[in-house]
């Protein structure tokens, strides 16, 4: 039971997170240097971030699921399904903007309930459930939109106000909302019964069950929280990009999971860090922007994100093996 | 009786903190069945594992067919002709019987597996043993008894000279056992030596020639089965001096109210019609040998496993317990024998584990009142003398005894009146053991009631006010502590099955 002497800051923030922040800064400087300075500047940063918030919400959501020891590969396609179904309803059936936004979140919640119920109550492995609902989400979106892409209103139109969620005249609304949601997530995970049980059952479900806790309920809750955040992510996706195409979305699974795992959330469940996820997501999007700024194509991002997931999971697994 | 084929002399083996085998001797002859008997933890399995190379011995000599041997793994032992037939069958259910028999050494035709040849060879083997099994049948379709025959046939097919049966009859019916005995008698005629590990006294009498008894990792002696009685064997098994004072009479008043009554509890093969009562302030010991169904009874009662039927009354009121949630609601707490798997969440702190079963008392609106949580955890750390630097320590860093105390604290925080202690001191060192005993006595003095499942005879005799003995999923007896002796408990625990 030796106690390692730690300085107060390291103890409070955690060694991993400090390392991650350093990595982020170094990457930023490196990209800045390599691109001859065009990477620097505040507007450049906020501009980069505008296209990263949706990923942040996905990553926050999947953090809860991974904390239970589960996994969700449906987040990206479900996000697209939310944006497509509600966007198509708005444009084709004249559903008002406010309702469309609410609808987006609700569709996310429904998928969360669906996934969570199957995993917790029917005990279908999360891998299978989320793979299946990924295809279901894609299918629903394609059928509903008759495989046509959906363009949400542009900023200049009367309904374009929703884009202010990301940035209002250059003011980073998105950043504030994202950080606020992250703080709420951190509080839920660390200060409430919900989070306590989610983490505990991720660590040892049977011991929690034998303590007389309704583990099914709490496990399902993690997926519902995830679904809700996926719904919010869909709003931030369209607010940044406006156009959504059916049949896609899978690539964001990897990126969101990478951000989460890099931030110190263990794939085995039981250990999760919201602040880690936030930093992890920033690193992922910084990396992507850097790769693009250096003149590589988008496909290189996929390769690098794939490798990052493997590296992050490997370091988690080997850290645990060393502990045993 | 034939010549000696195998001797084990002065075998010594220690694990950290346990002297598992203390200069044990064993001698097996060709064409005989040797019973190996002893209480749980006497060292029977360890000795067989040393023989077959699963464990490496610290000292001693194994002589096999006149030569000194030391097998590095079961494969080497197998090649030399020493084979274990395990209690749990190592069969692949979806493969055919013949495929199972020849797994790892399939007959081949080019690169293809020659199923026809395998079926023929299997048929020959079964004919030789007078067993009626279709080699092409899928393994999962066979009864457990037939699967056991396949295991034995497989052992024979390795050209075994020594076969070790580790509780082979545990899952078999009477007629299946009879059939297995036929094969064993047949193998005897072929001069194969056999070691038969079993707790069933009647089988020992029927099938074995000699009985070797072990106790606490030591060799006690060997008897000729024909010339000895069941009592002789039991006396050798338990003939240990109890150095801790056993209770001589129950501390519970005769008129103490019944807090828990279980009637006709049934849950599969391991819990067959179990009934008992628990009184306020009582420690009710559950004794029996490994696999007697005690843990299964506790888990069914607690709602951890499904039950088929049975009535449960808490404080005189009939209750329905379908899940641990229900059990906890009625004030029943369960401390599992396997703390790491079923008791604690190792990656969480002492405080978090302490409040796990009673979160709702620690809520401040939607927030957890961490201050209150820590205070309560601290209170129990002091009350139970848990050794931990502070309540924020992760439980994984605590020793076994202190982890156990955290689990106890969890149930005390929940204010459970009925506590089920399943092997409360397993894997705990002697000092911590005494502390747990003291704590249990204090709990019953405070009016809690305890069911204590234990495989340690000394623990049962020292702690219990009353003792329920189980054997093969049935309750075989109930003794007041004033009339309980090691001998009569062991008698009930190894009761012959009608």
Whole-prediction pTM:
0.77
CB contact under 8 A, B368 and A196: yes
Distance CA B98, CA B121 (A): 8
Positions of chain A with pLDDT lower than 50, given as ranges: 1-6
Task: Yes or no: say if B53 and B71 are a contact pair by the CB < 8 Å rule.
Answer: yes
Q: Tally the C-alpha atoms within 13 A of residue B311's C-alpha that lie toward its C-beta.
A: 7
The continuous run of DSSP H or E covering B264 comes out as strand B258-267
* Whole-number pLDDT of residue B402: 85
pLDDT in tens, A79-103: 999 999 999 999 999 999 999 999 9
Taking residues B366-372, report their average pLDDT: 93
For the ranges B35-39, B323-327, B393-397, the one whose mean pLDDT is highest? B323-327
The alpha-carbon gap from B393 to the nearest alpha carbon of chain A, in Å, equals 9
pLDDT in tens, B63-74: 999 899 999 988
* Whole-number pLDDT of residue B388: 86
CB proximity A113 to B under 8 Å: no
* Whole-number pLDDT of residue B330: 95
* Closest CA relative to residue B154, chosen from B106, B118, B102, B190: B102
Q: Where are the domains of chain A?
A: 45-156+172-287
* Whole-number pLDDT of residue B155: 87
**What are the start-end ranges of the H helices in B262-337?**
294-302, 324-329
Distance CA B413, CA B410 (A): 5
Q: Which residue numbers of B have CB closer than 8 Å to A's CBs?
A: 302, 304, 323-325, 327-329, 334, 336, 341-348, 352, 356-357, 359-360, 363, 366-368, 370, 388-389, 393, 397, 410, 414
Residues of A in contact with B393 (CB under 8 A): 1
Helices (H) and strands (E) in chain B, counts: 16, 24
* Whole-number pLDDT of residue A152: 94
- Of A118-127, B160-169, B318-327, B411-420, which gets the smallest average pLDDT? B160-169
Taking residues B223-233, report their average pLDDT: 87
Distance CA B139, CA A295 (A): 61
pLDDT higher than threshold 80 for residue B40? no
Q: What is each CA distance from A60 to A109, A183, A251, A270, A314, in whole angstroms?
A: 15, 11, 17, 15, 21
CB proximity A212 to B under 8 Å: yes
Residues of B in contact with A3 (CB under 8 A): 389
CB contact under 8 A, B366 and A192: yes
Residues of B in contact with A207 (CB under 8 A): 341-345, 356
B265 phi and psi, to 5 degrees? -70, 130
The alpha-carbon gap from B229 to the nearest alpha carbon of chain A, in Å, equals 44
**Among residues of chain B, what percentage have pLDDT more than 70?**
95
Residues of B in contact with A192 (CB under 8 A): 366-368
pLDDT higher than threshold 70 for residue B142? yes
The alpha-carbon gap from A5 to the nearest alpha carbon of chain B, in Å, equals 14
pLDDT higher than threshold 70 for residue B226? yes
Residues of B in contact with A211 (CB under 8 A): 324, 328, 356-357, 410
pLDDT in tens, B86-114: 766 677 888 899 998 888 888 888 888 88
CB contact under 8 A, A213 and B327: no
CB contact under 8 A, A203 and B347: yes
pLDDT higher than threshold 80 for residue B39? no
């Amino acid at each position: 039971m030796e106690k390692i002497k730690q300085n107060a800051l390291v103890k409070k923030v955690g060694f991993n997170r400090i390392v991650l922040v350093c990595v982020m800064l170094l990457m930023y400087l490196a990209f800045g240097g390599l691109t001859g300075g065009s990477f620097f500047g505040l507007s450049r940063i906020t501009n980069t971030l505008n296209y990263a918030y949706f990923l942040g919400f996905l990553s926050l959501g999947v953090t809860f699921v991974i904390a239970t020891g589960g996994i969700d590969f449906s987040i990206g396609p479900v996000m697209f399904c939310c944006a497509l179904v509600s966007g198509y309803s708005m444009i084709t059936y004249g559903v008002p903007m406010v309702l469309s936004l609410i609808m987006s979140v609700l569709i996310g919640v429904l998928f969360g309930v669906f996934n969570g119920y199957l995993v917790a109550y029917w005990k279908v492995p999360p891998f299978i459930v989320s793979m299946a609902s990924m295809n279901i989400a894609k299918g629903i979106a394609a059928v509903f939109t008759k495989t046509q892409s959906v363009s949400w209103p542009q900023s200049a139109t009367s309904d374009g106000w929703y884009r202010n969620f990301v940035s209002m005249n250059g003011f980073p609304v998105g950043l504030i909302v994202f950080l606020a949601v992250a703080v709420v997530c951190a509080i839920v995970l660390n200060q409430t019964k919900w989070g306590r049980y989610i983490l505990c059952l991720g660590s040892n479900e049977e011991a929690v069950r034998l303590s007389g806790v309704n583990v099914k309920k709490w496990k399902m809750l993690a997926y519902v929280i995830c679904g809700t955040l996926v719904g919010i992510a869909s709003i931030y996706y369209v607010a940044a990009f406006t156009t959504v195409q059916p049949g896609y979305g899978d690539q964001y699974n990897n990126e969101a999971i990478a951000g989460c795992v890099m931030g110190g959330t263990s794939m085995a469940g039981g250990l999760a860090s919201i602040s880690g996820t936030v930093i992890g997501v920033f690193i992922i999007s910084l990396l992507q922007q850097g790769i693009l700024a250096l003149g590589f194509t988008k496909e290189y991002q996929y390769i690098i994100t794939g490798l990052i997931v493997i590296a992050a999971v490997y370091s988690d697994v080997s850290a645990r093996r060393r502990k045993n | 009786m034939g010549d000696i084929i195998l001797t084990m002399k002065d075998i010594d083996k220690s694990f950290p903190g346990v002297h598992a085998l203390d200069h044990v001797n064993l001698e097996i002859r060709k064409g005989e069945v040797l019973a190996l008997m002893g209480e749980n933890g006497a060292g029977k399995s360890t000795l067989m594992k040393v023989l077959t190379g699963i464990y490496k011995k610290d000292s001693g000599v194994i002589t096999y067919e006149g030569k000194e041997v030391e097998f590095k793994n079961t494969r080497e032992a197998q090649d030399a002709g020493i084979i274990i037939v395990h209690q749990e069958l190592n069969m692949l259910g979806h493969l055919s019987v013949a495929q199972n028999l020849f797994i790892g050494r399939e007959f081949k035709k080019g690169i293809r597996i020659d199923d026809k040849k395998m079926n023929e060879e299997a048929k020959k083997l079964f004919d030789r043993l007078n067993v009626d099994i279709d080699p092409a049948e899928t393994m999962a379709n066979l009864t457990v008894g037939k699967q056991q025959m396949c295991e034995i046939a497989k052992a024979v097919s390795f050209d075994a000279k020594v076969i070790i049966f580790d509780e082979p009859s545990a899952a078999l019916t009477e007629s299946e056992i009879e059939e297995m005995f036929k094969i064993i008698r047949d193998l005897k005629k072929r001069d194969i030596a056999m070691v038969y590990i079993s707790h069933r006294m009647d089988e020992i009498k029927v099938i074995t020639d000699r009985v070797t008894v072990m106790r606490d990792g030591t060799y006690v002696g060997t008897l000729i089965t024909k010339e000895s009685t069941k009592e002789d064997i039991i006396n050798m098994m338990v003939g240990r001096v109890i150095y801790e004072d056993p209770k001589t009479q129950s501390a519970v008043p005769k008129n103490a109210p019944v807090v828990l009554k279980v009637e006709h509890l049934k849950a599969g093969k391991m819990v067959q019609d179990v009934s008992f009562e628990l009184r306020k302030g009582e420690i009710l010991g559950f004794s029996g040998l490994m696999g007697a169904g005690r843990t299964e009874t506790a888990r069914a009662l607690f709602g951890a496993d499904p039950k088929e039927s049975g009535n449960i009354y808490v404080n005189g009121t009939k209750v329905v317990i379908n899940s641990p949630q229900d059990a906890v609601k009625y004030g029943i707490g369960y401390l599992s024998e396997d703390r790491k798997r079923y008791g604690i969440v190792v990656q969480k702190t002492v405080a978090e584990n302490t409040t796990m079963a009673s979160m709702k008392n620690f809520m401040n609106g939607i927030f957890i009142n961490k201050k209150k949580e820590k205070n309560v955890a601290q209170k129990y750390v002091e009350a139970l003398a848990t050794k931990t630097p502070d309540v924020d320590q992760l439980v994984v860093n605590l020793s076994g005894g202190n982890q156990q105390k955290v689990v106890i604290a969890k149930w005390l925080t929940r204010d459970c009146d009925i506590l089920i202690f399943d092997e409360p001191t397993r894997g705990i060192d002697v000092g911590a053991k005494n502390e747990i005993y003291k704590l249990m006595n204090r709990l019953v003095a405070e009016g809690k009631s305890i069911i204590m499942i234990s495989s340690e005879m000394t623990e049962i005799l020292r702690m219990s006010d009353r003792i329920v003995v189980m054997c093969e999923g049935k309750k075989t007896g109930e003794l007041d502590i004033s009339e309980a002796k090691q001998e009569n408990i062991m008698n009930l625990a190894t009761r012959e099955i009608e």
